[in-house]
Amino acid sequence: MKKMRFLTRVVPFCGVFAALVACGDMDLFDYDEIGIEGEMSPTLTLPVGTGSLTIWDVLDSQDNDYLFVSGDTLVFEYSEPGIIDDMKVEEFFDVNSIDIEFETSPIDLGEQGATLSEKVQTEGIWASTKIGFTDGVEVSELDFWADFKLEIPATDFEYTLEIRVDELYMHDGTPFHREIVGVPGKAYSEVNNLEFDARFVGEPIFHIEYKIEVPAGEVISGDVHIEMSLSNLEYKFAVGDFSGMEPVSLDPGYFSLGSVDFLEEISGSFSFMEPVVSLKVRNCGIGIPFFADVYMQAYNKDGKSAELEFKDGYSAIVPANSDPDKVVTSVVEFNNQNSTIVDFFSLPPTGDVYYEGTLGVVEHEKRDTIWHTASVGIDVDVRVPFVIDAEGMVYNDTINDISISDVEDIERGVLKLVMKNSIPLNITLSAISLLDANGTVLTNLLPEGDGSILAPEGDTPAESTIIFNLDGNDFEQLAKSESLLLGIVVSTDGVATVKSTQGLEFMMVVSAQADLSDFIE
């Protein structure tokens, strides 16, 4: 009986223990490899980026040195110095480099061998070699340096010789004059490099007037020989009528717009309305007003060409500069009034711009001066204010060095761009192309609707929203992409001036649904 009592107490107690024997599955605590099943695809809507960008921010970022802000207007400026680099005066005006010999003959003084009872006097005129100038030029004054030589061999008698050259003046303005007293047995020789001033009426010929006198008591034993010349002539300046001079061709050549990224990246139908190409003509010592007739031709990236030239009847005059020590820069301007420049920049031109042209003397009454040291050079300035009239200007902007990670698991999403536009342009973000490292398009993200960003009404920015619906493949390609190519089409309501301070306030909101299973595994 006691045994039974004991059992009735112990057995249930053991039963309770038995009931507590663990029977759970320990594998459910092995979290080394755990996966997810069920709906674990949260959709997160977050603003990822905000900001305000001016048009200047966008364009200035393109690593070129040609965009500037002038006042508050955005301007593309490019300069090409020395498309004509200091063209020397010899290329269009010169003095023949011949020596000027005077046609002198022995001067016959009369009977020889007899003692003169009274003085003997002889006089005459000789003409010089004609000085040669560039065709069509009539020089009335020539200032020059030359080796002057006057030699008279020795005679046995005394004489007095006076020489004048009507057209020749010394540097100090005094007429050329020599009075020589011949000493028997002694020759006369004068060799000097002198500066002269020649003044011509009519042809450029010097006339020597000589007068020789032998005093009484002398015995004439021979002729008197006069040898006079001006050699190694180097003119300093010339004054005259240059209007008959033929126009001078400028050496053709090219200057490059190839490094201007912005022009490379726009295409389509648009016009820059106020572009200006300025030829900065550096005139040093050309005291002649002349016209510059320059022609340019350029191609766009599609091979289409356009010419830049003045409209018929327009002549660009470069004023004279008679100061040889001063460079006067005059500007010859191609603008929308006098040339085909609007069409030219509507190409838009890229790469090399071909140029050629002529410089010609403007006919006028005044006599002009040209200096031997004169030169002319031409620089080109291109200035394109962002005053545009666009129906469909296509602008492709590339955003490089994109590094987007951890988006492979996003199944779908929405990229919403909310923008407040103060740029007076109707902008359409037509597509965002995802590019790999080689520039190959991985995929194109297309907006819902037409992707338009409205132009502001007056000073009030216009708010627009662009929505891109992205699927899993888009996110996959986004993770692989190295750069983004934004396809932007711009149009204007009439002519619009883009100011540097105008821009976009933007907000990027991403709403993405991701499969988080992999993050947890």
Partner 1 sequence: MKMKRFLIACVALLCAATQLYAQDGNNTAFLLPNAAHRYRMNAAYQPEYKSVVGIPVLSGINFGYMNNSFGIDEILFKRSSYECDSLILDVDALRSKMHKDFRIHTNLDMNILSVAFRTGKKSYFSFDVGVKLDAGFGFDKALVDFIAEGNAPYLGSVQSLGGMALDASAYVEAAFGYSRIINDQWTVGGRLKVLFGALDANVKNTQISLESPANGESVLIKSRQEIYLSAPITGIPIGTAMPIEDFFNDIDFDAELMTDAMSNLGFAVDLGATYKFNDDWTFGASVNDLGFINWKSNVYKLVSDDEFNWEGADLSNSVNENDPDYVEVDDAFENMVDSLTSSFTVLASNDSYCRMLNAKVNLHATYHLNKRVNFSALVRGVAMADKFYPSMTLAANVRPVKNLGLSVSYSVYEGNFANIGIGIAPRFGGVQPYLVVDNVLAGNFTHARSASLRFGINFVGAAMFGKRAEKKGNAIAWRAD
Binding residues vs partner 1 (CB under 8 A): 5, 8-10, 12-13, 16-17, 19-25, 27-53, 56-58, 60-61, 63, 403, 416, 418, 507-509, 511, 513, 516, 520-521
Nearer to partner 1, 29 or 494 (CB): 29
Q: In the complex, what is the shortest distance from the CB of residue 477 to partner 1, in angstroms, rounded to a whole number? A: 19
Phi-psi region of 58 (alpha: psi -120 to 50; beta: other; left: phi over 0): alpha
Round to whole Å and give the CA distance between 107 and 180.
Answer: 15
Cα dihedral sign for 23, 26, 27, 29?
positive
Round to whole Å and give the CA distance between 273 and 276.
Answer: 10
Q: Which residues have CB under 8 Å from 83's CB, separation 6+? A: 253, 255, 355, 378, 379, 380
Nearer to partner 1, 49 or 244 (CB): 49
Burial class (CB in 10 A: 0-12, 13-18, 19+), 37: exposed
Nearer to partner 1, 36 or 328 (CB): 36
Nearest to 156 by CA among 116, 102, 105: 116
Q: In the complex, what is the shortest distance from the CB of residue 405 to partner 1, in angstroms, rounded to a whole number? A: 11
Q: In the complex, what is the shortest distance from the CB of residue 429 to partner 1, in angstroms, rounded to a whole number? A: 15
Nearer to partner 1, 15 or 217 (CB): 15
Round to whole Å and give the CA distance between 281 and 270.
Answer: 31
Nearer to partner 1, 172 or 401 (CB): 401
| DSSP H or E segment with residue 424 | none
Round to whole Å and give the CA distance between 60 and 63.
Answer: 7
Strand spans (E) along 172-299 = 175-182, 188-199, 207-214, 227-241, 248-256, 266-272, 276-287, 290-299
Nearer to partner 1, 2 or 173 (CB): 2
Round to whole Å and give the CA distance between 335 and 340.
Answer: 8
Q: In the complex, what is the shortest distance from the CB of residue 455 to partner 1, in angstroms, rounded to a whole number? A: 21
Q: In the complex, what is the shortest distance from the CB of residue 398 to partner 1, in angstroms, rounded to a whole number? A: 13
Nearer to partner 1, 139 or 417 (CB): 417
Q: In the complex, what is the shortest distance from the CB of residue 385 to partner 1, in angstroms, rounded to a whole number? A: 20
**DSSP letter string over 387-407?**
EEEEEEEEEEEEE------S-
Structural tokens at position 462 = 């216009």
Nearer to partner 1, 161 or 417 (CB): 417
Nearer to partner 1, 37 or 312 (CB): 37
| DSSP H or E segment with residue 144 | strand 138-152
Nearer to partner 1, 117 or 400 (CB): 400
Q: In the complex, what is the shortest distance from the CB of residue 502 to partner 1, in angstroms, rounded to a whole number? A: 15
Chain centroid to CA 273: how far? 20
Q: In the complex, what is the shortest distance from the CB of residue 521 to partner 1, in angstroms, rounded to a whole number? A: 7
Nearer to partner 1, 213 or 411 (CB): 411
CB 165 within 8 A of CB 206: yes
Structural tokens at position 58 = 């966008």
Round to whole Å and give the CA distance between 79 and 77.
Answer: 7
Alpha-carbon radius of gyration of the chain? 46
Round to whole Å and give the CA distance between 305 and 72.
Answer: 32
Q: In the complex, what is the shortest distance from the CB of residue 13 to partner 1, in angstroms, rounded to a whole number? A: 5
Q: In the complex, what is the shortest distance from the CB of residue 474 to partner 1, in angstroms, rounded to a whole number? A: 18
Q: In the complex, what is the shortest distance from the CB of residue 35 to partner 1, in angstroms, rounded to a whole number? A: 3
